[in-house]
Amino acid sequence: MQTPKGLKKGDKVTILSTARKIQKEELDTAIGIIKSWGLEPLLGETIGAESNQYAGSDAIRTDDFQKALNDPNIKAIFCARGGYGTVRMLDALDFSIFQSSPKWIIGYSDVTVLHAHIHQNFGVESLHANMPITYPSSGDNESTKSIWKALSSSHLNYTWDSHSLNKTGSAEAMLVGGNLSVLYSILGSNSEIDTRGKILFLEDLDEYVYHIDRMMINLRRSGKLEKLKGLIIGGMSDMNDNTIPFGKSAEEIILEHCKDYNYPVAFNFPAGHIDDNRALIIGRCSKLNVENNSCSLVQ
């Protein structure tokens, strides 16, 4: 795996949108925070662009992202927000310059498709982390601090409380994953991730619990769970149920589908569609330790 160069003060970075539309004024807080890190944030052409729900047409979003990929003066690409649309531009992108001169790509949720595609096809680390639209108006919090720590030093170290559903154990392997629904949607494509011998991270938002079951069965049947080294579950937020209850929480469903495998499982990691959304380096060899009283992850 290639690690993009760490950022330093004075570096130029781009904020753009690969998915839903966003206005410049929605980024004022993030621009201030990024400037406080000593970086020079530039706005892509997709900021302020509109095409129905998207930040401009597929062609505009593709061109904006391609220019940022190819520009040697841009040291990182911050995806402004999620929603839906990143996958629509993916097959038109040319990563050849990026592969020879990689840079950090930052985002989560819908941006999971970029993390998966880049990891699987080009062997470059990327950053699963909060996007500028969600940066706190009160200033830096632990989520944004973890972004700068990853970008400047490219090392992360976390501890968090244990969960009653955890399976204890230790693992050392490459970390992959992201949003469960997005990973499910790209199965069978050239963006599908190989999970064998890796630590898988999953999070999701606003899904029916029966659909969590459907997606986890798919991961199990397609062999994505069997040969893992470890599993980390972040926020499973704002889940929905039918009038006739499914009978299990999202976390209980996930455990059901991997309980017979011999690897550690850690729930409640602070990442996903939650206020405390810590950065994770996708593609980084990581050490996971799940004990009875606490969990830790070192990247």
Catalytic residue flag (residue 203): yes
Select which of 17, 109, 126, 286 is catalytic: 109
Question: Which residues have a Cβ under 8 Å from the Cβ of 213 and sit 6 or more positions away?
Answer: 246, 248, 253
Q: d(Cα 58, Cα 12) in Å, to the nearest integer?
A: 25
CA nearest neighbour of 42 among 21, 27, 62: 27
Select which of 117, 119, 211, 273 is catalytic: 273
Both tokens assigned to 248:
């299990």
Task: Identify the DSSP state of 234.
Answer: E
The CA–CA distances, whole Å, from 286 to 28, 82, 172, 175, 296 equal 34, 26, 6, 6, 10
Q: At what angle do helices 250-258 and 209-221 cross, to 10 degrees?
A: 20
CA nearest neighbour of 43 among 61, 24, 21, 58: 24
Place of tokens 């950065």: 279
Q: d(Cα 162, Cα 36) in Å, to the nearest integer?
A: 34
Sign of the Cα pseudo-torsion (283, 289, 292, 293, in order):
negative
Select which of 203, 207, 211, 251 is catalytic: 203
The CA–CA distances, whole Å, from 274 to 153, 196, 203 equal 24, 28, 10
Catalytic residue flag (residue 26): no
3-state secondary structure of 15: strand
Catalytic residue flag (residue 115): no
CA nearest neighbour of 283 among 102, 161, 137, 136: 102
Both tokens assigned to 261:
């495998």
Active-site residues, by number, are 109, 203, 273
